[in-house]
Amino acid sequence: MADKGMPAIVYTKVDEAPELASYSLLPIVQRFAKAAGISVATRDISLAGRIISAFPERLTAAQKQADDLAGLGEWVKTPEANVIKLPNVSASVPQLVAAIKELQGQGYALPDYPAEPATAEEKEIRARYDAIKGSAVNPVLREGNSDRRAAKAVKNYAKAHPHSMGKWAADSKTRVAAMSGGDFFSNETSVTLSAAQAGPVKIELSGASGKVTVLKEGDSLPEGTVVDATFMSAKALDAFLADEIEKTKAEGILFSVHLKATMMKVSDPIIFGHVVKAWLKPVYEKHPDLAGLDANGGLGSLLAQIRSLPDGAAILADIDATMAARPPLYMVNSDKGITNLHVPSDVIIDASMPALLRAGGKGWGPDGKEADTVCVIPDTSYAPVYDESVKYFIETGALDPATAGTVQNIGLMAQKAEEYGSHPTTFEIPEDGTVRVIAANGDVLHEHKVEKGDIWRLCSTRKAAILDWVQLAIDRQRLEGCQAIFWLDEARAHDRELLAYVRPILKDKGVEAKFQVLAPREATRLSFETIRAGKDSIAITGNVLRDYLTDLFPILELGTSAKMLSIVKLMQGGGMFETGAGGSAPKHVQQLMEENHLRWDSLGEFCALGESLSFLAEATGNEKARVLGAAVDQATQGILDHDRSPGRKAGQPDNRDSHFWFALYWADALAKQNSDAELAAEFAPIAKALSEGEATITAELRADRGKPVDLGGYYHGDAAKTAAVMRPSRTLNAIID
């Protein structure tokens, strides 16, 4: 039984499309789980909820919220933890500002986001908000390594109903562009801490001025931790970008940049700002005062800042002239003129690159037409994955989803591993000098000569997380019996330290022959060759590639990454079950608000729910939970077999229809099973009522489709209004409630 006030299963309250879907699905889950004595309740990790919890002293008693994220962060470190984690917004600054403004409009006395904090109070407010932006949730909750794969039912359905794939031209000009030096990859150094070096680590900058600045101190790292340090040269980045802009112009194709400004919330917005400045270089040269404006928020926020300047009109005219002289930009929305450079969070590499690959290497241009594209991915650590993908498909043509095998993933994620834990130790260097990382015993672990504007960072990966990851890989390979590849590069400093752990373990377990070690480029090609032949592979990767590959392969295999089975085996014995890898789908929300059609597919939630219930049965001995979980799997199969997933267009069945069918199939499976007579007796009349009420329920669900709806907010909607929209069938509600 859960303790500490937590339910047996925590179902996270999140943002955008998955949160809207929860209004419809969660009451069904709670009703069915109650029959097995299982409590299912929410904890709020939404963007709005996290903002509200950060400023309790400014709010009324009725407005205050507990810090559910902090509570969950402790809960996932216990053996009892069982969390169904839906996708949440990893907020860029524009999203954060929009959410703050919405809450202020609802009467929350929150401070504005200080873009340029000057006073101590503004700096303290900025620090609270900065803790909320970017990927603030996942590093707190992911206290375990990742096991992601397509559920067999989902994979079989994708083969039987293959999604469309774009055609690759043999003469495609699409390419990936990455730096040839001066980037994080080339400057990386890595060490594994000895017992003597373990303890608090200090990072300091010895400036050319003679001043020594402590950038960070006090973080304690245990023996065996792999500690990396590296930097990206601002000068090298700017030279690279200038060169690529000219090359793209000569090639006559689209220019695009693909970063991860959400998860890499310190480094990548800075890189994005460099791209914006490189694009507008002639304007910056003509108007030197622009250097004082913030470009990291993208072209959209920069234009807003410029409009308020006395000579704003003249600067905007120069920007228009420069834009016209540049190569055409990859577009987020051609109709609205929103470019790749408008908002740093609009084009996120793990979603944008697979979409481009699926489309035959095409991106959308300003004219609303598809075109070949230069994909700028500055750092060469992971760019080779996409570079090799482009080259492979130009050679071979598109993958056939009807015959393709699958790539599973075992990801090193626990304890804020690798780059995704580096936010607190990433710095934009304020002056020329030398950065040193000093161990507890005084040893200098890392030393880099840096220049003003360089982006320097430290990453750490703990021994316990590495050992657990390798064992998880061994267990998964044993279960699957297929090809298994550690995506590690002997030429990379960090990967060499990991291999010093991996190889002895594989040898000690007698399983060396069952695994290969390949650099990301070679692993990418072999994996595509393997699944093209209809066979399967397991990609055993670090944290960033876990994120990238669990979008790349599912989008090509299944058409989406939202239908992935995503299990986090928590280090202390609990389980977290993530509902796919496809983000929170803001365009789905827009469509619901305009047309009352929610195309979000809850297949990821169904898969996670089945796994969560089965895990609960194993952990607690609750046999009713096991029966419920098995019935969820049958219901999910029913959704696929009878094509009950949502359609994309208004007038077609949507998310709410699919939840009705899921409830019907789930109740029917429980009524017909022979393992638990009590459950069968309880759900037989429910199944009967749902079946007999189908016509009425369907009519009620669709009564107001095609009309705009009012949710009472975007980031912080009105609960009653949203429930009315998402649960419009009185007949269904009466059966469930």
DSSP letter for 167, please.
Answer: P
Q: What is the pTM of this model?
A: 0.88
The phi and psi torsions of 693 (rounded to 5 degrees) equal -90, 5
Q: Give the dihedral of Cα atoms 714, 720, 725, 730; nearest 10 deg.
A: 170
Q: Is the dihedral of CA 715, 718, 723, 726 positive or negative?
A: negative
The residue written with tokens 């926020």 in the block is 301
Neighbours of 397 (CB within 10 A): 15
Contact assessment for residue 414 and residue 465, using Cβ atoms and an 8 Å cutoff: yes
**CB contact burial 96-108 (16+ within 10 A = b; e otherwise):** bbebbebbeeeeb
Question: Under a CB-based contact definition with an 8 Å cutoff, are residues 275 and 283 in contact?
Answer: no
Residue 258 confidence (pLDDT): 98
Q: Do 575 and 81 contact (CB within 8 A), yes or no? A: yes
| Region label for 205, one of left (φ > 0), alpha (ψ between -120 and 50) or beta (otherwise) | beta
Tokens for 522?
């070679």
CA distance 490 to 499: 8
What pLDDT does residue 581 have?
Answer: 65
β strands within 208-262, DSSP E: 212-221, 226-232, 254-257
> What is the amino acid identity at position 576?
M
Question: CB–CB of 23/46 below 8 Å?
Answer: no
Q: Which residues contact 681 (CB under 8 A, 6 or more apart)?
A: none
380 contact partners, CB below 8 Å, separation of at least 6: 178, 179, 180, 183, 185, 186
Contacts of residue 471, defined as CB under 8 A and 6 or more positions apart, other chains included, come to: 505
Nearest-angstrom CA–CA distance, 151 and 162: 16
- Angstrom distance (rounded) from CA 628 to CA 609: 10
List, in sequence order, every residue forming a beta bridge with 12; answer none if it has no partner. 43
**CA 505 to each of CA 405, 511, 518, 632, 638: distance values in angstroms, whole numbers, following the listed order:** 28, 9, 17, 37, 42
pLDDT along the chain (737 residues), means of 10: 74 97 98 98 98 97 97 95 95 93 98 94 96 88 93 91 96 98 99 98 96 95 98 99 98 98 92 98 95 93 93 96 97 94 93 97 96 98 99 98 98 95 96 98 98 98 98 96 98 99 98 98 99 98 96 95 88 91 85 97 94 95 97 95 93 97 98 98 98 98 95 98 98 97
Residue 582 has a pLDDT of 66
Show the tokens assigned to 321.
């002239």
- The predicted structure's pLDDT at residue 4: 58
What is the DSSP code (8-state) at residue 382? T
Question: CA 471, 545, 482, 489 torsion: positive or negative?
Answer: negative
Distance of CA 200 to the CA centre of its chain: 31
Angle at 261 between CA 406 and CA 272, to 5 degrees: 120
From the CB of residue 634, how many other CB atoms can be counted at a distance below 10 Å? 17
The total number of residues written for the chain in this structure: 737
Cα 452 to chain center, whole Å? 31
Tokens linked to 147: 């096991």
Q: pLDDT tens for residues 706-730?
A: 999 999 999 999 999 999 999 999 9
